[in-house]
Amino acid sequence: MISVAEAPPGRQVQLRLLAGSNDGRLDSHLAQHGRLPVLETNQVMGMARDAGLTGRGGAGFPLWRKLSAVAAGGRAPVVIANGAEGEPASGKDRALLTYAPNLVLDGLQLVALGAQSVVLYAPAAGHRALRELLDARRAAGLDRVPVRLVTAPDAFVAGEESAAAAAVAGRGAVPADKLVRITESGPGGAPTLVQNVETLAHLAMIARYGAGWFRAAGTAEEPGTFLATVSGAVASPGVVEAGYGVALGDLIAAAGGASAPLSAVLVGGYHGGWVPAEGALPVSRAGLMPYGGSPGAGVIVALPRNACGLMETARIAGYLAGQVAGQCGPCVNGLPRLASTLTDLAQLRARPGLPAEVDRLARLVTGRGACRHPDGTARLIHSAMRAFEADVAAHLTGRCLATDARG
Amino acid sequence: MNRLHVDWTACDGRGLCAELLPELLVEDDWGYPAPRGDMSVPPALEPAARQAVDRCPALALRLTAPASS
């Protein structure tokens, strides 16, 4: 869809993680940032709390809370840096592991003290370079705790936290039931910490430059920068970095600007939501809440006015239906039905009650899976029905506003 | 109030729970249990809920205390 890792991360709004030479080399990393200060686990936890660092994998859960839940287990944890990026519209984790992997590995060391096993879970394509880098870091005495590489399969749900933990335990990379949280007891019985690679990279920066420095970017409620993958109708798709609360228009401008008039923007990825293409809209939880959206893992897809938002959503829904793990009945059955019903609406195969049926099915699958795959899919579809309300009405009369606009 | 928890990775949609607990559960389009409300179990329905948990052939249904759910 987009090839992010090939595009140099030169376009930015506020560069931090990607402010260096971005060559992935250990010597340039040390020249820029120096060695990581030695910190104890409780210091790391306090720092993460003071900084207000939240997970950058999509859910936005405060890092320090997860750290403290794992510590409360009282047993040596399994620690996993999560570089799985099954979301087709996201390329920021791959970019980070290519351009600034040392920040990720520094951050992993900060949360790895006392762990029984420390893993970098990442797509196989990057393993050779990462293996060489891990060896170089060990030889330089940088990594106190050895890190094992585990392959993240290329599947949408493979990056879900319990799926990552299962893969690391040698099982299939599919989500598990949440009655017992993995921070308490993961697949092998040990407390398990799964943290997105970008979150760890931010932690490595906070350890060097402090919580106050971190908070100088973003908003008071949502501090720091985040990596965004901007694609769709933009001149120069790729990964950019900005503080939370950045204007949507500034993010799009950082990706070369819109290449056509836009009708809407998908924010937060395939489990995210459609928002109006308003340049001033702040990209933050608070700013996107009125649209039921959130920055998620920083995915931004610009929809040109001559493309049908319902068609695009139906295409994504079809993809998501094909990415079910195959474990949970309501998701296995509900997502394909939801996608085909939405496709009927998108392709002008109108019948009475079609929008109501889409709404019913989306509600029906919500909250009824081991993971949030059905919930996220339903959220996307609900947001499409709101954002493209006028087109829903037009489609029921056999017309498409976007296609009409093409002339 | 205790709550019902369905392990969706284990549930086969046999339908026993919805039969034993029609006040709380209804079968969806495919025979899987769908909650009527928020899955809280009123004290009066606690015995029926325990029976549903015990009889689930897939061992997919649990009763959880508020603190752990």
The pLDDT of residue A406 is 67
pLDDT digit string (tens) for B16-66? 999 999 999 999 999 999 999 989 999 999 999 999 999 999 999 999 998
CA nearest to A329, candidates B27, B3, B43: B27
Give the model's confidence band at A6: pLDDT under 50 very low, under 70 low, under 90 confident, else very high.
very low
Q: Look at B28 and A176 and tell me if their CB atoms are within 8 Å.
A: no
**Smallest CA–CA separation between B48 and chain A, in Å?**
21
Give the up-direction half-sphere exposure of residue A244: CA atoms within 13 A in the CB hemisphere: 25
The helix or strand, by DSSP H or E, that contains position A299, with its residue range, turns out to be strand A299-304
Tell me which of A59 and A264 has the higher pLDDT: A264
> Do A179 and B13 lie within an 8 Å CB cutoff?
no
CA A196 – CA A203 distance, rounded (Å):
11
Higher pLDDT, B38 or A258: A258
Give the nearest partner residue to B30 out of A176, A177, A329, using CB atoms.
A329
Tell which of B8, B26, B59, B68 to mutate to test the A interface (max A CBs under 10 Å). B8
Give the pLDDT confidence score for residue A292 in this predicted structure. 87
Looking up residue B25, the CATH number of its domain turns out to be 3.30.70.20
Domain that holds residue B36: 3-68
Look at B9 and A333 and tell me if their CB atoms are within 8 Å: no
**pLDDT bucket at A8, cuts 50 / 70 / 90:** very low
Does residue A283 sit in helix, strand or coil?
strand
A177 and B34 within 8 Å at the Cβ level: the answer is no
A346 token code pair: 């998108």
In this structure, what token pair is assigned to residue A189?
């019985």
Q: Which of A270, A259, A263, A273 lies closest to A307 in space, CA to CA?
A: A263
Report the residue of chain B nearest A174, measured CA to CA: B9
The pLDDT value recorded for residue B67 is 65
Is the Cβ pair B11, A331 closer than 8 Å?
A: no
Cα separation, A181 vs A72, whole angstroms: 13
Instruction: Check if A176 contacts B (Cβ < 8 Å).
Output: yes
Mean pLDDT of chain A, nearest integer: 94
> Is the pLDDT at B9 greater than 50, yes or no?
yes
The CA distance from A257 to A250, in Å, is 8
A50-79 average pLDDT score: 95
Say yes or no: A369 contacts chain B, CB-CB below 8 A: yes
Nearest to A330 among B7, B8, B10 (CB): B8
Contact A249, A283 (CB under 8 A): no
Q: Which of A174, A179, A340 to mutate to test the interface with B (most CBs of B within 10 A)?
A: A179
SS3 call for A72:
helix
The pLDDT of residue A5 is 38
What pLDDT score was predicted for residue A352?
Answer: 84
Q: Which residue of A has its CA nearest to B66?
A: A179
Q: In this structure, how many other beta carbons lie within 10 angstroms of the beta carbon of residue A257? A: 13
How far is it, in rounded angstroms, from Cα A151 to Cα A66?
24
Quote the pLDDT of residue A183.
93
* Minimal CA separation from B8 to chain A, in Å: 5
Per-residue pLDDT at A166: 97
Task: State pLDDT tens for residues A140-192.
Answer: 999 999 999 999 999 999 999 999 999 999 999 999 999 999 999 999 899 99
Region A361-365: mean pLDDT is 98
Across A157-243, where does the E strand assignment appear? 192-196, 225-232, 238-243
For chain A, domains (ranges, CATH) are 26-215 (3.40.50.11540), 226-304 (3.10.20.600), 309-405 (1.20.1440.230)
**pLDDT greater at residue B67 or residue A340:** A340
At A318-331, the pLDDT tens digits run: 999 999 999 999 99
CA dist A292 → A68, A287, A375 (Å) = 29, 10, 13
Strand partners, B5: B62
Stretch A281-304: mean pLDDT? 95
B1-to-A176, A202, B24, B36, B56 alpha-carbon distances in Å: 25, 41, 14, 16, 21
What tokens were used for A330?
A: 């309501």
Spatial separation of the C-alpha atoms in residues A192 and A205, rounded to whole Å? 23
Tally of structural domains, chain B: 1
Q: What is the CB neighbour count within 10 angstroms for residue A190?
A: 22
pLDDT at A11: 42
Say if A181 is an interface residue toward chain B (CB within 8 Å). no
For residue A326, give the chain B residue with the closest CA: B9
- Terminal Cα-to-Cα distance of chain B (whole angstroms): 11
Counting one residue from chain A and one from chain B, the pairs whose CB atoms sit within 8 A come to: 46
pLDDT band of residue A84 (cuts 50, 70, 90) is very high
